[in-house]
């Protein structure tokens, strides 16, 4: 095992946390720290980084190879416990970071928390003498690395879907906007990855890019029902969470009934049918709340109850052909409906109204 020994300044933060400031040759960073891109193994979330952006990396590489480059922003690295700090004296905050690298197990001790594109550009640059500022900390777990990644990047223009998908897998207190998404996205993940869910593998997320249903549409549908719909009755107001198993059971029963009611629409992409388009997801979510209210005494309506009630509106639905008849002089071609607040409200009022009049 090789040990990279670099001068470092130890900075105490909090009661027992330390940050280490160092300068490391840019070519060595890829040997001591990897980029953990977000992915899934079965249903388990792994990693936390976004994919590299090749055009941005090329721009940084060209700058590093220019005549007089200067990059003042430090790369942030989370090391595991194999990395140690060695003080010059017992009481000094000046010393050395001892970083193992290129060991026999090919285990890299660090992960890049912030600066993945800079580290990639340094790896590809011809300039072999460029020294990069590094801020490092020693993490106790992968979860801590993930939390630091979110805290560092929460004020930057990261894709919201990536932050939402990471949120359920952290225990730290996030910003209020992200905190509100944790539980709804946890429900979304159950719908996306539970094998008995009709949405199994169908919801498009950063780790499931082949999904055809936008995660934001499902998330809004869940949030609306949690706020004042069918899912609200299983919610714990004190924690903002609730009985997730019952919530998922209700959602699975309903959307299985939707799938079987419009079986020929279920596998169509949103551009070819409005059933799994944002406007369809939100309006059918409101209908789920209305049907659940009618069967309130059953707590969780069964698949059969949902399926029977959905038959009452089938003739009025024009998901992939024809015209919606919203009233006198108010007809809309099926693909004129868009994922806008106005169109969503128009369609959900129509579906719920038709259902209540036929119930």
pLDDT of 207: 81
- What's the distance, CA 186 to chain centroid? 10
Angle at which helix 244-261 crosses helix 176-193, to 10 degrees, equals 50
The structural domains of the chain, with segments of one domain joined by +, span 2-157, 163-358
Long-range contacts of 356-359 (CB under 8 A, 24+ apart): 356/290, 358/312, 358/313, 359/294, 359/309, 359/312
User: Which range has the worst mean pLDDT, 56-60, 96-100, 168-172?
Assistant: 168-172
Confidence of residue 223 (pLDDT cuts 50, 70, 90): very high
Average pLDDT over residues 178-185: 83
Express as a percent the part of the chain with pLDDT over 90.
60
pLDDT of 14: 80
Q: Which residue reads 């990855």 in tokens?
A: 193
Confidence of residue 48 (pLDDT cuts 50, 70, 90): very low
188 Cβ contact list (under 8 Å, min separation 6): 203, 215, 218, 219, 222
- Contact between 211 and 44 (Cβ < 8 Å): no
75 Cβ contact list (under 8 Å, min separation 6): 29, 33, 112, 114, 115, 118, 119, 132, 133, 134, 135
């Amino acid at each position: 095992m090789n040990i990279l020994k670099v001068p470092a300044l130890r900075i105490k933060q909090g009661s027992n946390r330390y940050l280490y400031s160092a300068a490391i040759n840019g070519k060595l960073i890829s040997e001591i720290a990897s980029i953990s891109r977000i992915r899934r193994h079965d249903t388990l979330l792994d990693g936390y980084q976004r994919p590299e952006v090749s055009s941005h990396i090329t721009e940084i590489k060209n700058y590093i190879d220019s005549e007089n480059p200067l990059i003042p922003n430090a790369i942030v690295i989370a090391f595991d416990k194999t990395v140690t700090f060695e003080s010059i004296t017992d009481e000094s905050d000046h010393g050395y970071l001892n970083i193992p690298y290129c060991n026999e197990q090919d285990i890299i001790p660090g992960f890049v928390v912030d600066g993945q594109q800079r580290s990639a550009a340094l790896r590809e640059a011809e300039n072999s003498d460029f020294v990069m500022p590094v801020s490092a900390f020693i993490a106790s777990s992968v979860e801590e690395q993930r939390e630091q990644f979110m805290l560092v990047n929460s004020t930057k223009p990261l894709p919201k879907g990536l932050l939402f998908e990471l949120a359920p897998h952290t225990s730290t207190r996030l910003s209020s906007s992200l905190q509100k998404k944790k539980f709804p996205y946890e429900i979304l993940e159950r719908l996306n990855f539970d094998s008995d869910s009709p949405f199994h593998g169908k919801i498009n997320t950063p780790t499931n890019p082949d999904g055809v249903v936008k995660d934001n549409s499902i998330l809004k549908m869940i949030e609306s029902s949690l706020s004042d719909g069918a899912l609200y009755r299983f919610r714990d107001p004190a924690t903002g969470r609730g009985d997730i198993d019952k919530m998922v059971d209700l959602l699975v029963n309903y959307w299985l009934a939707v799938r079987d009611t419009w079986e020929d629409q279920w596998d169509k992409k949103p551009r070819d049918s409005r059933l799994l388009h944002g406007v369809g997801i939100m309006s059918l979510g409101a209908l789920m709340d209305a049907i659940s209210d009618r069967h309130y005494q059953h707590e969780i309506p069964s698949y059969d109850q949902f399926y029977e009630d959905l038959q009452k509106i089938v003739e009025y639905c024009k998901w992939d052909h024809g015209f919606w008849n919203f009233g006198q002089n108010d007809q809309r071609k099926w693909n004129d409906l868009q994922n806008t607040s106005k169109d969503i409200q128009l369609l959900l009022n129509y579906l719920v109204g038709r259902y209540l009049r036929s119930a």
